[in-house]
Amino acid sequence: MSRFLTLRRGGSRMAHETSQLYNKLKERHPELITAVEAMGTIARKSGPLDEKTVQLIQLGAAAAIGSKGSLRSHALRALEAGATKDEVCHAIIALTSTIGFPTVAAALSRMDEVLD
């Protein structure tokens, strides 16, 4: 068992609401979402970092700004890119001295709520 958290994937109400919001934006503003997705792809591939590292960095940024949807998305993408559950949690825990314990604790709590 992980010494950090047990992560659960999918199925939460929050994940469903985030997905609905994204789909609504995509339906109403398809050109904007296409451009944002393309920009993200170009940014991720424009340097020497591998996909796992990029997703862990983006996960940390999501934790810092308190973005529940981005936390879920980047955690799942990091796992798909080969990160372990411990690495996903440590990417957040490592930020304690930078973003503060309350923000880290909230992000870890959201991770537990969102992922199974």
Q: Give a yes or no: residue 27 inside a domain.
A: yes
Closest CA to 69 of 98, 107, 32, 28: 107
Least confident interval from 6-10, 45-49, 51-55: 6-10
What's the CATH number where 18 sits? 1.20.1290.10
Contact 55, 82 (CB under 8 A): no
Q: Give a yes or no: residue 1 inside a domain.
A: no
Domain that holds residue 44: 13-114
Domain count, the chain: 1
SS3 62: helix
Q: Give a yes or no: residue 4 inside a domain.
A: no
Contact 115, 72 (CB under 8 A): yes
Q: Give a yes or no: residue 58 inside a domain.
A: yes
pLDDT in tens, 83-102: 998 999 999 999 999 999 99
CA distance 60 to 55: 9
Q: Give a yes or no: residue 61 inside a domain.
A: yes
Q: Give a yes or no: residue 64 inside a domain.
A: yes
Q: Give a yes or no: residue 90 inside a domain.
A: yes
Q: Is 63 exposed, middle or buried (0-12, 13-18, 19+ CB in 10 A)?
A: buried
Query: Which residues make Cβ contacts (< 8 Å) with residue 12, sequence separation at least 6?
Result: 113, 114, 116
Entry pTM = 0.77
